[in-house]
Amino acid sequence: MEVVAPDHDYCVSAATGVMANELLRENESLRRQLQLARSQIERLQLRTRFCLERFAGSDDQIRHYTRFASYRHFQYFWKLVESASKTKMIRVTNTKASADDSARFHTSTKLPPIDELFLFLMYLSLGLSLRDLAERFDIHRTTVSRIITTWANFLYHLLGSKRLWLPREVVRARLPPEFAAFPDTQVVLDCTEIYCQTPSDLLLQSEVFSTYKSHSTFKTMIGMAPHGAITFVSALYAGSMSDREIFKQSGIINALQPDMAIMVDKGFLIDNLVPCKVYRPAFLSGKKQMSPDDVLQTQSIARLRVHVERCIRRVKENKLFDKVVPVSLCGIIDELFNVACYLVNYQNGPLVKAWAT
């Protein structure tokens, strides 16, 4: 074979080589500047767009908007519900869909699902109006209402399906030292009320009017395990209903066993309703003063019952329940309040730092 020498490139010289290297350096510099400009634009867009990622670097802001302790804490909770939100969530729409239109139930909105959850938690935590949330997230008020209803129903069924009521072995294994005098305590119960709009019907007015609050209210009963976890939440009842009647209708009696004990306030006159022991502050019962033993027991119970009040206060830190619940929310207020109670077990640390272990 005859080897042919390559043609000589008369255009290439030392000067042109230098120019080519300079052009390469300039191109690389321009490329870096373009990447920097793009990243700056993305950061500016993130700052102008109201979403979860905007507050990823501030745990204080996450706590303010969602009641979760930190951004990482929020992400842990999101991982628990993310898969279910893709398969089990049924979205509220403004149209009636047939069985053939089931795919419509899973269509997403303009917002990513994690930002929908962020919006819902903001609604609970801050009690913002639909107009305010619509302006912040740049969506229609009707869309905000559907997102809130969708996530309220979804979390109510998802978190409510997890067993809140703990077996007595689990409760006693985590019994704090403060409960040493009451070692068989299974749950500490108390009732709380939230204000509601006074209905126009006179019969309904008499049912929801609370003499304790001197206002129309909804009333519910919350149970806390001795170590601080919420283990029971009843439905919302009319404000005029007594603690005893709520206890009777709540269904908790079926979960109690003879080797358990419950700790309640004076208003729970339930000794003949339960199969177990009842720890309750003593009454004078016509006596001028209590016996020393009754005084000591009452003081001990009062010191322990304060924890269930602190637990309920965590629920009511959600500003939605600070104001009067309008009639328009009555359809989902039960779900909203129950979800707020369920979330307390995920959002917060122990009631007492020493109980962390």
CA gap 103, 65 in Å, rounded: 32
Query: Which one of 161, 181, 207 terminates a domain?
Result: 161
Q: Is residue 248 in some structural domain?
A: yes
Number of Cβ atoms within 10 Å of the Cβ of 74: 26
**Domain identity same for 126 and 256:** no
Give 11 or 198, the one with higher predicted confidence.
198
**Domain identity same for 289 and 193:** yes
**Domain identity same for 345 and 224:** yes
Residue 113 token pair = 């699902």
- Could you tell me if 187 and 174 are in contact, meaning their C-beta atoms sit under 8 angstroms apart? no
Identify the domain containing residue 67 by its residue range. 54-161
Residue 19 clears pLDDT 80, i.e. is over it = no
Residue 73 pLDDT grade (very low, low, confident, very high; cuts 50, 70, 90): very high
- Could you tell me if 222 and 233 are in contact, meaning their C-beta atoms sit under 8 angstroms apart? yes
The pLDDT assigned to 332 comes to 93
The pLDDT assigned to 41 comes to 61
- Could you tell me if 189 and 273 are in contact, meaning their C-beta atoms sit under 8 angstroms apart? no
- The percentage of the chain sitting over the pLDDT mark of 90, rounded to a whole number, equals 57
**Domain identity same for 66 and 87:** yes
Type of residue found at 140: H
- Alpha helix ranges (H) inside the chain: 14-48, 59-66, 71-87, 113-126, 130-137, 141-161, 168-173, 202-208, 243-250, 292-316, 333-347
CA gap 238, 216 in Å, rounded: 8
Q: Is residue 87 in some structural domain?
A: yes
CA gap 118, 161 in Å, rounded: 22
- Could you tell me if 62 and 71 are in contact, meaning their C-beta atoms sit under 8 angstroms apart? yes
Q: Is residue 34 in some structural domain?
A: no
Q: Is residue 71 in some structural domain?
A: yes
Query: Which one of 134, 161, 188 terminates a domain?
Result: 161
Overall number of domains in the chain: 2
Q: Is residue 22 in some structural domain?
A: no
Residue 100 clears pLDDT 70, i.e. is over it = no
The model carries a pTM of: 0.81
Residue 10 clears pLDDT 80, i.e. is over it = no
Q: Which of 13-22, 127-136, 324-333 has the lowest mean pLDDT?
A: 13-22
Q: Which of 84-93, 131-140, 317-326, 332-341 has the lowest mean pLDDT?
A: 84-93
**Domain identity same for 323 and 180:** yes
**Domain identity same for 140 and 173:** no
How large is the angle between the packed helices 113-126 and 141-161, nearest 10 degrees? 90
**Domain identity same for 334 and 202:** yes
Residue 328 pLDDT grade (very low, low, confident, very high; cuts 50, 70, 90): confident
**Domain identity same for 107 and 242:** no
- Could you tell me if 232 and 222 are in contact, meaning their C-beta atoms sit under 8 angstroms apart? yes
The pLDDT assigned to 26 comes to 74
Q: Is residue 36 in some structural domain?
A: no
The pLDDT assigned to 44 comes to 53
Contacts of 178 (CB under 8 A, 6+ apart): 303, 304
Give 330 or 7, the one with higher predicted confidence.
330
Residue 125 pLDDT grade (very low, low, confident, very high; cuts 50, 70, 90): very high
**Domain identity same for 136 and 103:** yes
CA gap 232, 299 in Å, rounded: 25
Give 177 or 29, the one with higher predicted confidence.
177
Average pLDDT over residues 304-319: 92
- Alpha carbon of 320 to those of 99, 117, 128, 129, 299: distances in Å? 35, 16, 8, 10, 34
Choose among 220, 229, 221: nearest CA to 167. Answer: 229
Average pLDDT over residues 261-284: 89
Query: Which one of 132, 161, 190 terminates a domain?
Result: 161
Contacts of 180 (CB under 8 A, 6+ apart): none
- Could you tell me if 252 and 223 are in contact, meaning their C-beta atoms sit under 8 angstroms apart? yes
**Domain identity same for 206 and 334:** yes
Q: Is residue 8 in some structural domain?
A: no
**Mean of pLDDT over the chain:** 85
Q: Is residue 45 in some structural domain?
A: no
**Domain identity same for 156 and 172:** no
